[in-house]
Every structure is written in C-alpha cells, then in structure tokens.
Structure 1
Amino acid sequence: MGIPRAMSMTVPFRTAPPVETDDVTIVVATRNRPDRLAETMRHHRAPVIVVDNGSDEALDAPGADVVRLDSNLGAAARNVGVERARTRYVAFADDDSYWESGSLQRAAALLQTHPRTALVAAEVRVGAEGRLDPVSAQMAAAPLGTPPGAAGPAILGFLACAVMVRRDAFLAAGGFRPRLFVYGEEALLAMDLAAAGWRLSYAPSLLVRHFPAPAGRNQRARHRLETRNRVLTALLRRPPDVIARTLAGALGSHPAALLDVARNLPWALRHRRPLPSEVEAALRRLN
C-alpha cells in the first residue's frame, strides 16, 4: 500500500477554531467528497489527519496532514491515520461530522482518569434539527449497566464517527479489519477490545454533530455488505448457536450476501477466535 503525500485538488476551507487539546488527533477518512470535508474541517478543534481513501483526484486540505492512499481501503483507512498520529488519544470523524466544542477535551480527560477504558462514545445528533441518533438512544438505555468507576454505561458497539480511542489499545486490537471494508465494521473491534480486557463506555456529556447526505448511496449494496459483515463477525467470534441464527437471518433478509460470506469463509475460519465467556454473556444480554 502506497501512501505518498499528494495535494492537487484545492478546496476553499475556512479558518479552523483554536485547538482545545494537544492530547488528541482527529482522523478523518474521506473519498471523493471534498465539499463535505470543507464544511466540517472548519469545526475541528484538534490537529487533523485526513486519509484520502483513493479519491479520483488528490485532495488538498489546508491545515491538515493529508495522507493519500492508492486504493479505497474502506474503514481500514482509519488505521493509517491512527498509525500516523503521535498523540495518546485519537478521535474519529467522518467527512460529514465533527465534535462539538469542549467534547474533545472532555473525552481526553475521561480516558486520562479511567485508565482501563480504551474507547468512549459520544452522543450523536443528526442533521440541522439535532435529531438523536438511534444508536445513541440505545446506548443511553444502558442495558449492560455502568460498572463502578467506569467512564459511563458499558457498551459493546459504537458509531465510528463518534468515538475517541486510546491509540495503543486500538493498534494492539488490530484496528478495523480490511476484509470487512465498510458497514458494521465496528462490532468486531468492540468485541476484540473487550476481549483484551478493556472497557468501552458511552459518555452522553460528549457531543458529535453528524450531517449525512440525504440520498445518493446504494442502499441495497449497503444492506448486502452489512449482512455479509454481520455473518463474518459471528463466524470470527461467536459460538455455533449464534452463527446459526445469524445465517438464518441473512438467508431471510439478503441471501445474496451469503455468496460473499462463502468467498470469505476460509479467511474467517483461519482467524476465528471465540470470545471470553464474560464478553459473550454481555453480548447475549444485548441481543
């Protein structure tokens, strides 16, 4: 994988606000959406690494460290940004999201004061109306409870555009798996962090703004990838009864995805590593 610096597509970025913490690097993966990136870049309140995920034209993001990939790595492009970062903590943002003022500083403080926590997830508000994201609503319900001394309610899933991670823990867990590409890639990382003994916490005092495009994405293709990744994640980490239920669900909702699973089956079996019993028990409480 080549990652030479390249800057040729200039976008009119506005002046960024002052940096609110030196302990955090923001990693943004983007592809072919310079206008969206230009809108959110001006809100980032920490140093930014932009990973240009194989865009058709090289991207220029003034004020950011731009890494140009030769091909689209999907979610694994974030791994490149984390490897390049030199801060203890890394916050993820998409090219259509940003952390609200004060949230980066508060998130870093939570990780600092909770050394067993590898990841904190912010509340996500969607669109100009600030609609609560359904995933945030689920986290707020705290079905796993809040362990004593934890940074917030325990979670085993998250939205990648709204978390801060402990850099060393993220890298040790392997980051986002390239084979999963996109859509549902967070579940496996959450499991692996928990299996390594780390806590993952929801912190509603943190706020991320998300402005997804209203249309234009192939929803059928997305559903197929989500279904494939759900089955592959079960094959990689869950026990046989969960695998069977997940396969049955995939057959009923998107049977074409099972062709993709079959092509990836040898890889999944080679990398299968069942979860510790306490992590599996927590997952069953959620499902």
Structure 2
Amino acid sequence: MGGVGVTVVMATRNRRERVLATLGHLAALPERPPVVLVDNGSDDGTAEAVAASHPEVRVLRPGRNLGATGRTLGVEAAQTPYVAFADDDSWWAPGALVRAQQHFDAHPRLGLLAARILVGPEERLDPVCAEMARAPLGTEPDLPGPSVLGFVACGAVVRRSAYLEVGGFSPVVFFLGEETVLAQDLAAAGWGLAHVDDVVCHHHPGSAGGRTDRTRLQTRNAVLSTWLRRPVGVCLLHIARLVRRGRDPQVRGALVDAVRRLPAVAADRRRLPRDVELQVRELERAGG
C-alpha cells in the first residue's frame, strides 16, 4: 500500500458522503498512505459504503461513539512509525506526508507536527496556523519549526510511540478542543511540538450548524482541560470568570456539564511540570 511511513487515521460518525469524497482525495495521493477509518457508531451505512468503495481502507467499528478517543484505536492499529490525522472533511496535500516523515526522521525529539492548514476552496490560511507561525514560544534548535503547545487535530502528524506513551486524546474531554490536553501531555513527557509550514493540509468544513450546542461544549471542555492539568488557582480564576457570565444559559449549562464530569477529572488530574506551565502562561499573555 505504498512505502510512506505515515498512516492516515480518520474518525467519523454519520457523514457517509463526506467521508467517501475525502477518501477519494487521499486515494489520489502519489505516496498512497495506508488509511484507517474509525466509524464512531454511524447508522447511515458509512462503514459498509467505505468497505465497498475503498477496500484498501481498514475500517474499525467500535460500535459506539468514542469521540476523539476513537482516533486512538486507529493509532493502535497503524503499523507505521508516524500517524497523520484527518477529519472526514480534510485531506493531505500531495507530498505532505513524505515531507512530514522526513522531518520526524531528522528530529528524534519531535512528537507532533502541526501543519499549515488551508481552509475552503479559496484556501485561506487557518487563523490558528497564523498564530503558530508568529512563534511566541520561539524555535528550539532540535525542532523543524516554531515550538507550539496547541494544534488543530485535522492538520497534525504524530510520532506513534509518543502518542501512545501519553495515552492519546483525553476521554474526559471527549470531543471539541481535545487538542489542548494532548499537546500539554506530550510537552510534559519531553516531546517537542512544532509548526511546520511546508507540510500542507486542506480543510473544507461544511456550514456551521448547532452553534448554540457547540458553544456550550467548547466552554465545558475548556473548563475540563484546565482542571485536568493546571494549578488550582488558575482553575478557580477560570471558574470565577465564567460565573460572572452566569446569565448566559450556555455558560450555565457548560458549568453543570463540567461538574458532572468531576469524578473523571479527579481520576486523571495531574499538574503540568513547571516549565510547561510557564509556557502555557506565556501563550496566554501573548493571546495564543
């Protein structure tokens, strides 16, 4: 299935037509990477359609929605040293995965590579990538680009061993904003994370729907991510700021949702090392 040492792992749920179109883009790549699709409990025939149209794709069916942690099943199934994530509306540019492999091979401490993401048919640069390129954390000599402590999952490539070492995406956060804790855990384990401009990903998201629920989920997950890894004082300050917005029903709902997950937070809570916490604070001061 090709000689590139990067497997593409995609998780999806009930987006059959979008998945088939994206797999077509991946199948056309000259490097022909192996692809693992994790079907998070779809009931629209996604798994069957992929098996029929793309028999080269390995389809995993956990039978329920695992959220972002479904990607971990794909990483475990991969047989290459590196894994590139893709959403069902994103794909890698020709040659991108070959360049990613070269960067990992040349930089043994590199645990995660955050690519340049071009959004939509007009190929706008993703604002997160623009912030990463500003390099508020500088560039370490043993990394191929500016150091980062965050990324966009659909435009990230990981060293498989590093990802599995830290346990992958947090099941507590589940989905949306899941990148924060993983980035911090990789850094806490001593791995480098870098933005690399010459590795390119295309992202064509559909129209945003369910914005109210999305706001509630984003707010909840920001609370959970903070309590999972940050000092208690930072956590309390974050909560106080949200409480002052308590008239917003989405904020109130997010706080209620977060409280329900406190037992899971307590079981997985661990403080970041001092050097990583200082980097997080530097990014917060820089607005990153």
Q: TM-score, normalised by structure 2?
A: 0.90
Q: d(CA) in 2 for partners of 1:34 and 1:77? A: 17
Match of 2:20 among 31, 38, 48: 38
Within a 5 Å distance, the mapping from 1:165-244 to structure 2 comes to: 165-215=158-208, 217-244=209-236
Query: Match for 1:49: what amino acid?
Result: V
Q: Does 1:255 align with 2:277?
A: no
Q: Does 1:26 align with 2:12?
A: no
1:78 Cα offset (Å): 0.3
Residue equivalent to 1:7: none
Q: d(CA) in 1 for partners of 2:37 and 2:241? A: 37
Within a 5 Å distance, the mapping from 1:272-287 to structure 2 comes to: 272-287=269-284
List per-residue Cα deviations over 1:64-106 (Å, max 9, x = no partner). 1111121111111101100111110000000100010111000
Q: d(CA) in 2 for partners of 1:32 and 1:270? A: 31
Residue equivalent to 1:10: none
Q: Does 1:159 align with 2:141?
A: no
List per-residue Cα deviations over 1:90-126 (Å, max 9, x = no partner). 0000010001011100001101110001000101111
Residue equivalent to 1:118: 111
Whether the aligned pair in 2 keeps the contact of 1:250 and 1:257 (CA below 8 Å) is no
Q: d(CA) in 2 for partners of 1:173 and 1:37? A: 28
3-state SS of 1:98 partner: strand
Match of 2:140 among 140, 147, 150: 147
Q: d(CA) in 1 for partners of 2:6 and 2:276? A: 29
Cα RMSD for the two superposed structures: 1.3
Whether the aligned pair in 2 keeps the contact of 1:230 and 1:246 (CA below 8 Å) is no
Q: Does 1:70 align with 2:70?
A: no
Q: Does 1:268 align with 2:265?
A: yes
Query: Match for 1:73: what amino acid?
Result: L
Residue equivalent to 2:34: 47
Residue equivalent to 1:4: none
- Answer 1 or 2: which has greater helix percent: 2
Q: Which runs of 5+ in 1 are unaligned?
A: 1-17
Whether the aligned pair in 2 keeps the contact of 1:120 and 1:163 (CA below 8 Å) is yes
Whether the aligned pair in 2 keeps the contact of 1:139 and 1:202 (CA below 8 Å) is yes
3-state SS of 2:25 partner: coil
List per-residue Cα deviations over 1:192-220 (Å, max 9, x = no partner). 000000000000111100000113x3111
1:248 Cα offset (Å): 2.6
Select between 261-270 and 78-87 the one with higher mean Cα deviation.
261-270
Whether the aligned pair in 1 keeps the contact of 2:16 and 2:44 (CA below 8 Å) is no
User: Alignment identity in percent?
Assistant: 48
Q: Which runs of 5+ in 2 are unaligned?
A: none
Select between 262-271 and 229-238 the one with higher mean Cα deviation.
262-271
Query: Match for 1:191: what amino acid?
Result: Q
Q: d(CA) in 1 for partners of 2:215 and 2:280? A: 22
Q: d(CA) in 2 for partners of 1:84 and 1:162? A: 20
Whether the aligned pair in 1 keeps the contact of 2:151 and 2:179 (CA below 8 Å) is yes
Select between 46-55 and 245-254 the one with higher mean Cα deviation.
245-254
Query: Match for 2:229: what amino acid?
Result: R
3-state SS of 1:214 partner: coil
1:273 Cα offset (Å): 0.6
Q: d(CA) in 2 for partners of 1:95 and 1:250? A: 33
Whether the aligned pair in 1 keeps the contact of 2:109 and 2:142 (CA below 8 Å) is no
Whether the aligned pair in 2 keeps the contact of 1:231 and 1:250 (CA below 8 Å) is no
1:168 Cα offset (Å): 0.9
